[in-house]
Amino acid sequence: MKHYLRTLLVALVAVTLLVSCKSKEERVLDRLQTMSEKIQKNGDNLSEEDWEKLYKEYSDIHAKILNKEYNFTDEQIHELGKLEGKIGKAFVKHSMSDFGKAADEIIKKGSEFLKGILESDDDKEE
């Protein structure tokens, strides 16, 4: 009976390990999927530090992809393209939001700057 239980336990562990083992390509796709979902769900509430961490992680993954450290199947390449598109769009959207805020600030300061110049000229004419 002990031999049967031991054999069953070993078989169960072996099956679990085989099922749970994912290729490095699958792990990359899972990580990008998780990143995409996090951005989609919490993007508006992420801090600048969170965005920087996500960008660093994405950049590291993307550099390895460009260096051909992975051997993706055609189906995985298709999925990879979709995920990179979603994540890239989120980064651009976030950057444009920051750019818009900065542009508003520059316009406000610029308009006050111009008012100061015009007021100075008006004071001299009087």
What is the 8-class DSSP label of residue 45?
A: G
pLDDT tens string for the chain (126 positions)?
666 667 766 666 555 555 557 899 999 999 999 999 999 999 889 899 999 999 999 999 999 999 999 999 999 999 999 999 999 999 888 888 766 666 666 666 666 766 776 776 555 555
Query: Structure tokens of 64?
Result: 């390895």
Residue 3 has a pLDDT of 66
Contact 61, 31 (CB under 8 A): yes
Rounded distance between C-alpha atoms, residue 39 and residue 33, angstroms: 10
The identity of residue 124, as a single letter, is K
* Number of alpha carbons in the 13 Å side-chain half-sphere of residue 28: 23
Locate the domains of the chain by residue range.
23-125
Instruction: Please count the other Cβ atoms lying within 10 Å of the Cβ belonging to residue 32.
Output: 22
